[in-house]
Amino acid sequence: MTDSPRPAADHAPDSLRGTGAALLQARRDKLERLRKLGLDPFGQRFDAPLPVADVRGKGESVPRDSDAGPTVRVAGRIMLLRSAGSLVFLDLHDRTGRIQIMLGKKQVGPEPWKIVDCLDLGDIVGIDGRLGWSKTGEMTVFATGITFLTKSLETPPDKYHGLVDADLRQRMRYLDLIHGDGVRDRFVARSRIVESIRRTLADRGYLEVEGPTLQESAGGAAARPFTTHHNALDMPLVLRIALELHLKRLLVGGLERVFELGRVYRNEGVSPRHNPEFTMLEAYEAYGDYGTMMDLTEVIIVAAARAAGAPERFEWLGHTVDLTPPFRRARYDDLLRAATGCDPADPVSVVAAAAAVGIESAGRHPDVVKSDLFEATVEKTLSGPVFVLDYPAAVCPLTKRKAGAPHVAERFELYVAGIELANAYTELNDPDLQEELFRTQLAGLPADESMARMDTDFIRALRHGMPPAGGLGIGIDRLVMFLTAAPSIRDVILFPIHRPRSE
């Protein structure tokens, strides 16, 4: 499931131009020859080509010595081209695979053969022909007709030097998709994972909805937003950092099971685990709690893994992970005690353990220190999948407190290979307590990094009555990264953000 892209010679786009201007001019010359033949070098309608995978499926039932294979029609990009006098062999690739094409001057006729003389690597063509087997035992379409569909005016990456520079591959994703081994498969898997999530939730009665991307104030997460300005209304706006608060308004309105799969934006750094623009799933179920969402998370991930073709057990980022349900459950305090030896219920003990690993505690809320200690000592040990349950309440201002234990929030996070994949709560629906928590900034956190943002309309909505509910958030990019065993989140985002680079 990992990529093995062909090597690349250089990091600059000009390096992708083979031996230089002469090769580019040769392609331009062929472009003009096509036009002189009365053909549009950039194509025409070509109805009903079969996916290459389907053609190959048909070919398996054709006897090796038969000259009576079925007629097929395919279209794709030329990835290999070799000439043998009056015969030309192509490797034609589409999204589903590759197949050999044999073009014979006698078989296609003299006029279409003029098209064959204009072919280059990277061109896109349509082929009609008979499916069979070559003398060397390779499944082949023996062409009876060729339709020129698109002329490629740039030379592809050198056969031996391709694209290895990760930054260049991501900037020029179109070339990465064409030439990088396994890259298309990863993004096909992403599509199947998202489709599976939608199907899982729809099957359980969830409605997919869309909330606003532009908002008056950011809420629902601890993150710095991107800011903008609406000219007609002369008002500042932010891009959303989470989906939560508007989805909960829908619970108030009587939509009892809702979800959104949407983009969120956080004005933060870039790393193998973070991209400022990313895709989030949030789902809310009235009359549920965090246990309800734990069960749902497990179902979503197991179904998505099957849709992506992921094995139940595999290696990722140096950890062996096993997707066999049920996933392990472990309490936050128990994990912290085992990792540090501190007493999680004793702030003095927690502060001492934090000091031992270099975490500052002066002037900071004890639960914030405890959270930093957990992040520093426990998270990296969690191979998972493991549900970590029952978090310090002070760092969970949108979460219901545990009955009889007001210092504990009914929250879980799902960890795999030391990375958080999912986060869920029993949702706080007490409007007075929610308002109090919004007004009380977490000690030690600046305002622009706190979840305690006042959304007065949200408080007003809660006063109308939000049913008890469970809520779930899953980072789709991280989930795809996990289920395709990708080393970086940037490998599963088609167009991640980059620092400007001179061409």
Q: Tell me the Ramachandran region of residue 496: left when phi exceeds 0, alpha when psi lies from -120 to 50, beta otherwise.
A: beta
Sheet holding 227-230, edge to edge: 214-215, 235-239, 227-230
Look at residue 5 and tell me whether its pLDDT is greater than 60: no
pLDDT tens-place string over residues 303-313 = 999 999 999 99
CATH architecture, domain 182-327+384-491: 2-Layer Sandwich (3.30)
Q: Rounded to whole angstroms, how far apart are CA atoms 498 and 503?
A: 13
Output the pLDDT for position 246. 95
Token readout for 136 is: 């060397």
Tell me which of 66-80, 309-323, 469-483, 489-503 is least confident: 489-503
Output the pLDDT for position 247. 97
Burial (0-12, 13-18, 19+ Cβ within 10 Å), 275:
buried
Output the pLDDT for position 397. 85
Phi, psi of 376 (to 5 degrees): -75, -30
Q: Rounded to whole angstroms, how far apart are CA atoms 295 and 474?
A: 14
CATH number of 19-154: 2.40.50.140
Per the document, the length of the chain is 503
Q: Rounded to whole angstroms, how far apart are CA atoms 293 and 257?
A: 12
Which residues are CB-contacts of 225 (< 8 A; sequence separation ≥ 6)?
A: 218, 238, 239, 240, 241, 265, 266, 267
| Per-residue pLDDT band at 196 (split at 50, 70, 90) | very high
Mean of all residue pLDDT scores within the chain: 90
Tell me which of 37-41, 135-139, 156-160, 228-232 is least confident: 156-160
CB 155 within 8 A of CB 175: no
CA geometry: angle at 185 spanning 184 and 191, to 5°? 90
Residue from 445, 443, 452 nearest 398 by CA: 452
Q: Tell me the domain boundaries of the chain.
A: 19-154, 182-327+384-491
SS (H, E, C) 323-350: CCCCCEEEEHHHHHHHHHCCCCCCHHHH
Which segments of 101-216 does DSSP mark as H helices, in order? 105-108, 110-116, 166-171, 173-179, 183-203
**Termini Cα distance of the chain:** 32
Residue from 160, 129, 154 nearest 59 by CA: 129
| Per-residue pLDDT band at 15 (split at 50, 70, 90) | very low
Its pTM stands at 0.88
Residue from 219, 224, 210 nearest 258 by CA: 210
Output the pLDDT for position 19. 55
Tell me which of 23-32, 136-145, 453-462 is least confident: 453-462
